Structure 1
């Protein structure tokens, strides 16, 4: 089970796929997969294991974390640049409680993704849950 964090340009508000045909849904998911592959190549995608993330979040304060505590690994969402400073503070709290190499690696990857976001204006951070 995983959570994808992807830096990408803001997406236009799209129509719901509830009434879309199967072919339309497949095409949209295929386009997303291509975007994610490109983002991975450019270092703009982080695939996070929920089994590692959730215990780390709970140790750092869980729902009391203003941004990270509100991420739902089973849904999708978007963060904007105004959220970046608070997200940095949340990641600092995660770094303080990381207790093993896997957790420290996750925090380092999150910090690298946020640094990349800081250096590339015009992007938003999208998360896609399982």
Structure 2
């Protein structure tokens, strides 16, 4: 089970493709696939193992983590730039609670994603749960 963290531009409200032609549906899927491939190349996508993240959040004290402690790994969430300072503080607390190499790598990957977000102010952090 995973939690997908992705930096994406604000998404327009999805329109129903129920009445779209096959060509319109193909074009939309192609455009979405290109967007995801570009995001992965830029380092804007992080696939997190939920069990690893939850154990780290628990050891850091989930009640003190305002953003990460409130994330539901089974639903979707969108974070904007106002959440970034608190999210960085949460990652600092996670870093202090690291106990294994896997957790250390997870914190480093989250920190790298946040660094990319600081460089791209127009993006939002989308959290897609299982």
TM (norm. structure 1) is: 0.85
Structure 2 segments unaligned to the other structure (5+ residues): none
The alignment yields a C-alpha RMSD, in angstroms, of 2.4
CA deviation after TM superposition for structure 1 residue 28, in Å: 6.8
Matched residue, 2:44: 44
Cα deviation 1:33-82 (Å, max 9, x = unaligned): 54333211111000000121000001111143110011111111100001
Match runs of 1:21-40 below 5 Å: 32-40=32-40
**Cα distance change of structure 1 residues 28 and 97 upon mapping to structure 2, 3 Å threshold:** farther
Distance 1:29 1:65 in 2: 36
Rg larger for? 2
**Cα distance change of structure 1 residues 81 and 111 upon mapping to structure 2, 3 Å threshold:** same
SS at structure 2 position matched to 1:66: coil
The size of the alignment, in residue pairs, is 127
CA deviation after TM superposition for structure 1 residue 120, in Å: 1.0
**Cα distance change of structure 1 residues 101 and 26 upon mapping to structure 2, 3 Å threshold:** farther
